[in-house]
């Protein structure tokens, strides 16, 4: 890996607020994406996400876990970054599913708002 690529990756990590050393971060991201792929393989085929959506969800959840790693509660901040990213990648499928179901419920509730909106003191 050339100096320019290392500098670019370090700049991107710093821009996201990740203060971990670059080899730890990149190793953790690879382990996290592998865990996301493995969790996709171990789910039943009828509820399985596609490969690219599983890897994208793993990437997003691992990035959020890497950003939050120094501030995680219950002593998790003392764990190695690679372990935290592996757990985040493995749980990304369920985190993505929870966010999707929450979003669908929010859209359904927001669709009812215009018809149910009443001004205070207005007639029913």
pLDDT at position 123? 66
Give me the sign of the Cα torsion angle 103, 47, 68, 27: negative
- 112 and 55 in contact (C-beta within 8 Å)? no
Give strand ranges (E) for the chain. Answer: none
Residue 43: helix, strand or coil by DSSP?
coil
Q: What is the phi/psi pair of residue 100, to 5°? A: -65, -45
pTM of the full structure: 0.76
- ∠ CA 50-31-83 to the nearest 5 degrees? 120
Report domain extents, the chain. 3-116
Q: What is the mean pLDDT of each run of 10 residues along the chain (124 residues)?
A: 86 86 92 95 87 92 94 93 96 88 86 74 65
């Amino acid at each position: 890996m050339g100096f320019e690529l290392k500098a670019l990756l370090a700049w991107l990590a710093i821009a996201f607020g990740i203060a971990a050393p670059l080899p730890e971060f990149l190793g953790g991201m690879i382990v996290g994406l592998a865990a996301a792929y493995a969790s996709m393989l171990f789910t039943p085929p009828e509820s399985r996400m596609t490969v690219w959506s599983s890897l994208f969800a793993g990437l997003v959840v691992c990035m959020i876990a890497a950003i939050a790693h120094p501030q995680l509660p219950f002593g998790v901040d003392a764990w190695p970054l690679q372990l935290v990213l592996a757990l985040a990648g493995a749980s990304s499928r369920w985190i993505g599913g929870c966010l999707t179901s929450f979003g669908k419920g929010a859209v359904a509730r927001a669709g009812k708002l215009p018809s149910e909106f009443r001004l205070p003191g207005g007639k029913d």
